[in-house]
Amino acid sequence: AQRVTQPEKLLSVFKGAPVELKCNYSYSGSPELFWYVQYSRQRLQLLLRHISRESIKGFTADLNKGETSFHLKKPFAQEEDSAMYYCALYEKGAQKLVFGQGTRLTINP
Amino acid sequence: EAGVVQSPRYKIIEKKQPVAFWCNPISGHNTLYWYRQNLGQGPELLIRYENEEAVDDSQLPKDRFSAERLKGVDSTLKIQPAELGDSAVYLCASSSRLLSSSNYGYTFGSGTRLTVV
């Protein structure tokens, strides 16, 4: 079965420190991966897509097929980055997103 | 653009009572999804519609859950009767065939937080 694993439920770092939110996946084909973010009292929204290789709000994520990982990184955390972060895999056959359990990121001042 | 609109935002009901959630997707989005998000978990798909047709309802507990998408636009998700374990956030999302979901993901609504007491 396709699976997305986010090993850390909680992650706390200080402002200005680097951040890395881990995501590992299992998928038999060529994966399509996403990071979604949910700020307090806001809806779940797309942060970035691996296919576009973009940087959004200073975050980047690189697909590592050898390690089956798609970790989210930011070199200098800001307080407004505090949120829930979900890694998601697009399951092509079923045409659906499969989500990890999420990581709550807290940036301390 | 209002985005994906869901109502109500919150609902508290007693167990064994019925409840319904409503979703209005983004105009022109032919694909609509209902996800359930239990506390401390990521969202899990309940049902997917392509226009008015439910093309994947394999994860929908059909003994008590039902959904419809008349005219291929708005959708309603119903639980009857509700159980304590149904307490969760119910999310609606939509996507467009023109924008491949595998490339662009979905747009989610704000969700309905259901509490069954």
Summarised one tens digit per residue, pLDDT across range A47-98 is: 998 877 788 899 999 899 999 999 999 999 999 999 999 999 988 888 888 9
Distance from the B108 Cα atom to the nearest Cα atom in chain A, whole angstroms = 6
Cβ contact B111–A88 (<8 Å) = no
Chain A within 8 Å of B44 (Cβ-Cβ)?
yes
The pLDDT, as a whole number, for residue A67 is 94
A49: tokens are 């897509």
Residue B99: pLDDT band with limits 50, 70, 90: low
- Cβ-based contacts of B106 with chain A (< 8 Å): 46, 97
Q: What is the largest CA-CA distance in chain A?
A: 44
Q: Report the sign of the C-alpha dihedral through residues B35, B63, B65, B19, in that order.
A: negative
| Residues in CB range of B99: below 8 A, 6 or more apart | none
Distance from the B66 Cα atom to the nearest Cα atom in chain A, whole angstroms = 19
Q: Which of B43, B48, B56 comes nearest A99 by C-beta? A: B43
| Secondary structure class of B60 (helix, strand, coil) | coil
Count, residues in chain A: 109
Q: Which of B33, B91, B105 comes nearest A46 by C-beta? A: B105
The pLDDT, as a whole number, for residue B100 is 58
CB B6 within 8 A of CB B25: no
Q: What is the CA radius of gyration of chain B?
A: 14
The pLDDT, as a whole number, for residue A52 is 78
The yes-or-no verdict on residue B25 having pLDDT over 70 is yes
Best B102, B103, B107, B112 member to test A by mutation, with max A CBs in 10 Å, is: B102
The pLDDT, as a whole number, for residue A96 is 86
The pLDDT, as a whole number, for residue B98 is 62
The pLDDT, as a whole number, for residue B71 is 86
Cβ contact B102–A88 (<8 Å) = no
Amino acid at B63: D
Query: What's the whole-number mean pLDDT along residues B5-33?
Result: 95
Q: What is the CA radius of gyration of chain A?
A: 13
